[in-house]
Every structure is written in structure tokens, then in C-alpha cells.
Structure 1
């Protein structure tokens, strides 16, 4: 489990590309400090799986009647924010944690706002970013707090929307995990928490046209990654989706493949006529399209959906937290009156075991 007291990375000035862009609808931006697009240790699913291992249909939102996905998100409230990249990155990572917990435990939702507060140099902001940038940032920082530490407010340091100019989103201990006690008129204030529940990133990587130029092979690698380890993030051209109402598979092969948006692929299916499609979760709220989901025809790189896939595996996550007092001033042994010489045993983390450990052992 990562040390939640790890030194904070200083927040630096964002590059001008984050605030002035030729295309205001392009939320996919790679920052100069994002220098590492992968950190791979374990065998990748396509190295130990074959096409015969894949089911005809698969949906992490419906595994024998159980959803293995975390909650639906809306990146555009309480004001507009181009943080699709962060939503796709952290929702798919949280989904993989839920899957590792057998889809049965209480959801662990990760703080997107923390990444906006502290990841601006590597990951991105409300003016765009990248999934692998988010994963690089979390991996190097050491952890990402649960969203009860820092709820999403759709603001970053370069955002002028809504109330964003009136809130502090600089990277600090207070903007990593905080709690507030009493009204200010009654002497209350907000404090940074010394200990907080968090999750880590162990590995991350991509599947793209550089990995394999054959689209059929790429599709199978994407399927194997999803089936073995969980949802993935996918770059996509989001412009045709603004007025898309769902109710059918998006199959317009003439639409541009220049990607501007990032979503999460949670599975795939096939129609009676044999047309295969991806099942995709967006971050525009559950009112959009098919309850926040939509389907895109598979195997033709429509909207660029098979052009760049990003994934991450968790390293660990908090199962039992170090308790703190309501105002956050006393934590751990002091909070329950234990002698300082006694070891506090309530900070329990669960480590992730990559599926390759089991699947390769079975061969």
C-alpha cells in the first residue's frame, strides 16, 4: 500500500497548449512532461490467451446479472470541464479494482479532482489531457485517494468556468485529502488528512497501431485485455456523438477517425445479422444515449475507436482505513487511545494479483 504521506509534487505552470488550442472540442492533449506511456512487468493477456478463449459476447456491466462497473460519471457538472481522459482513466481503473474484489464489495471510486489538482504537468486539466499521462502521474506520485477525500468539482487551475476562478485547485496536502469541521463563523476550518484511503497503479500501457498494424489482430488483443483484466480506455472522435441518441449501433464509416475524446470500453456484443460492436461507457451522465453507454461497430476503426487503447492494473487499495477524528486532527493510535508503542493494525490494504499468475499456472 502506498504511503499517503508521500511528498507532494509541486504544481507548476501549465503549458500554453492547455489553454489555447486550435480545436476547442479536442480533449486529448499530451503534455511535454508525459514521457512514459507504459510501465509493463506482467505478461500481457495476448501472450497467454488465444482467440478460442474469447466468448462471443462479453459485458462487464452484466456478468450473470451482476454489474462489475463502478458508478456512472458526468464530467460536465457542476460546470463544463474537458476531463474525459481523467474520467476514462480512473473509472476503468476503479472497475478493475471492483472486478478484483469479485464484483461484490462496496465500490471504490477514485478522486478525479485530485488528478486535476496535482497532475497538471503530466496528466492534464479541464482543457484536455491523456489517459497514460494520468497513469504515469499516479504511478510516480505513489497513489490516488478515494473520491471521498476530494470530490469532483470540474475545475483545474487553468479553468475559468462557473465558480472555478473562486476556488483553490493548486496541488497541496489540503487539495489531496481534506475534511472540514464546523461553520467558519463557529471557528471551523478545513484540514488536510494525514492518512487517507487510496489506490495505486502497478502497471499501465497501450494497444495501438504501432503495437499491431493489423486491425483484426488489434481487435483480438483489445478483447483479451478487457476479458482478462477489465475495461480499457479508448481514444475516439467525440464530435459525432454530441447529437447521438443511441438506440442503434454507431456504424458511420465516413466519420473522421481523428480522436478528440476518451471513453471506456466495457465489453462487446454481436447482432443477429452478425455485426459485432463494442459496448462503450461515456462520461456525459446517464441521461445521454443508452443510459450513458453506446455501441460502435467493431473491426473498422470507426471514430478511431481501435486506434489507441490505454489500460492500467491496480497495485493495491485500502480495505480498512486508519481512523481519524471527525475534524481530522487526530488519526491512528491517538484516535482510539492506544499507547504509542502499540502497533496500530487497522490500516489494511489489498494487493492486486494479475490474472496471468493463475492462467499461466493452469497451462
Structure 2
């Protein structure tokens, strides 16, 4: 039985997908004293590590050792999706009869896909919304077409403009996927990320402005007669259509199992900055904003906690070598209500692919 799209349920899910935004007013009311304090606190790590029911371990992660709350908050760049866009976006479900494994890791399921196991670094820019989308689409090109390609976050970040939000000041994951379908993104080689070294260098605070959209590859092939602008156009990789995945955990699992990693968004609290290992659930601290990451699998811990497995883009100095687990099945921090994806398109691919029509509707 094929999975279905639920047009009638779209409004209901749109109305229920407000978890990320009920705390927005509270995050805007943080005092200047709070914003200027260090995000990493020994007292928070101690409270987590001495709590036998926490289910996870905290640490003073090197990635944010010098960050204030305000600096950390700027990394949380998920903005609210306009209500009319939520209503007009298809929501996908999968048959409940679909047999799913108890645990799943996309890195091992598709071990030939090098992009799935990459941990990137968004630097000081609130570009998480772009990373989650582009990384997932890169993975899906390998999974569906056996094309190992790293796509450009910079293209989406710089060129989507007001359609996606405000660049380094945040954007909307659903609009990001719509950009991928309508305009595509070039390869990372053509348009590399504008800031590879994060906030360790002088002059990076306040946060850099969003990079300028140049629409040409940084380096053209010296043996080619093609211009950098022409190479840019030919380097574009597209998604077929943007869609959302129903918030039922089994629908999310089936989507990842069948089609590959997805982008998810959730509310980040102060304690999340301290995550080191285990299955995260919010214990303490203020809400700071919405964050987008790539969901690559699931499982159950030795303590019996069901979890999602996710790749973050805060480099390998944060968390469990750049990854984290979060409680599954309870919509922890709203993570199950904000799942977006799209299938890769054959448009612009040089090699012949016969199992998908570039102009077809999404086939799940």
C-alpha cells in the first residue's frame, strides 16, 4: 500500500505545530544581563549529572566555552512558517502495516553515502534552517540516485533572500525546501560555505552579515570554456517538491527508512548546550529559540528510552562527536511536529536516471 498525503489534516497539523512558537515571547524577554552571561554553566551540568532520572550526561562543551547566551541564541535560526504556507503544503503519512526495525542508522543503512556521516559547522551564523535542508537533500541524492555530492548551504543561505527569512538571522525550513524545488542549489565545490572557522577569529562579533548572492562558481574549470555563471547553472541540483511528514513517530520513521534523512526543528533550552551523551530531554533552563538539524535514525537506550538519532552542525567538539539523541514518542521540545523533506529530482543530472521523472509529483 502506498503512503498517502493528507490534505484535510494539513490545517490540523498546522494549528498543532506551534510548539516552537509558544515560547517565542519568553525568549524575547530575556534580560541583557542574562544575554551577556555565559551559556555554559557548571551549575547546570551538575544538576543534570546528579539527576538519576535525566537519562543523559552534560559537559562544558569546547564548542561554546566562550559563548554568551546572546551569542549562542543567534545560532538558533528557525523562524515561524507563515500559516498560509503550512496549510498549502502536503503532509505525508505511511501505512501502519509497514515493518520498521527497532533501531535504524542511515549511516550504516547507506554506508556508500559519505555525506550522511559528515558533521559540519554553521559557525556563528543562524543558518541551521539551511544546513538541515541541504544536508538531507545531499544524502537523498546518494540514496536514490547513487550520486555522492555535497550541496551548497551557501547558495540557499545567500540567494533565497526574504522568501526564506533573514539569512544568518534565521529562516524557515519549509521555505528552504521550496527554494530547493524551484531554484535548486549548486555544489559545495562551486559555492563553499562563507565561514568555515566559526567564531574563533577576531572581528566575528556581532555576527557577520548574510553572504552576498553572487550566482557564479568561485573557481571555474581551467580546461573548460564555460563561464563561472554557466557552471553555476549547470551545477544546480533540485528537489522535486517540498512536503511535511505527519507528526506520528511511525510516519517519521517510515519516511527516513524509505527515503533518507529529514530536516527537523525543535525548541532549544539552556541545558541543551551542555549535552554530551545519552537521550536528551529538557530538564532545566530558559527556552532560547528554534533550531534545525538532520534526523538520521532511531533506537532504544539500555535504560529503555526510545530516542531519535540526529546530526547537528556545531562541529565534533559539541555533544557526542557532533551527534545527539533526543527522546522519541513524546514530541520532546516539539521535534516531532516540525519535519520537512523533499525527494531529489533528476533535473540537471548528467547521468541517466530512469526511476524518477524530474517533472513528476512527489512519489513516496
1:191 deviation in Å?
Answer: 4.5
Matched, 1:117 2:117: no
Aligned residue number for residue 303 of structure 1: 333
Aligned residue number for residue 273 of structure 2: 242
1:241 deviation in Å?
Answer: 2.0
1:230 deviation in Å?
Answer: 0.9
Residue 266 of structure 1: which of 296, 317, 322 is its match? 296
Aligned residue number for residue 107 of structure 2: 61
Matched, 1:144 2:144: no
Aligned residue number for residue 77 of structure 2: 27
Aligned residue number for residue 203 of structure 1: 241
Between Structure 1 and Structure 2, which shows a larger proportion of helix residues? 2
Q: How does 1:201-350 map to 2 (within 5 A)?
A: 201-207=239-245, 218-239=248-269, 240-246=271-277, 248-252=278-282, 260-316=290-346, 319-320=349-350, 348=351, 350=353
Residue 218 of structure 2: which of 178, 184, 191 is its match? 178
Output the aligned Cα RMSD: 3.7
Counterparts of 2:324 and 2:207, CA distance in 1: 34
What TM-score, normalized to structure 2? 0.65
Counterparts of 1:166 and 1:298, CA distance in 2: 35
Measured at CA, do residues 286 and 168 of structure 1 come closer, stay the same or move farther in structure 2, by a change above 3 Å? Answer: closer
Q: Highest CA radius of gyration, 1 or 2?
A: 1
1:113 deviation in Å?
Answer: 0.6
Aligned residue number for residue 9 of structure 1: none
Aligned residue for 2:279, secondary structure, equals coil
1:92 deviation in Å?
Answer: 0.9
Counterparts of 2:332 and 2:356, CA distance in 1: 34
Measured at CA, do residues 150 and 349 of structure 1 come closer, stay the same or move farther in structure 2, by a change above 3 Å? Answer: farther
1:289 deviation in Å?
Answer: 1.3
1:119 deviation in Å?
Answer: 0.6
Aligned residue number for residue 199 of structure 2: none
Uncovered stretches (5+) of structure 1, i.e. residues with no partner: 1-20, 183-189, 213-217, 321-347
Contact 2:113 2:139 in 1 (8 A): no
Residue 353 of structure 1: which of 353, 356, 359 is its match? 356
Matched, 1:88 2:145: no
Aligned residue number for residue 3 of structure 1: none
Counterparts of 1:163 and 1:318, CA distance in 2: 39
Contact 2:133 2:177 in 1 (8 A): yes
Matched, 1:192 2:233: no
Counterparts of 2:112 and 2:215, CA distance in 1: 37
1:64 deviation in Å?
Answer: 7.9
Aligned residue number for residue 120 of structure 2: 73
Residue 132 of structure 1: which of 174, 179, 182 is its match? 174
Counterparts of 2:188 and 2:249, CA distance in 1: 33
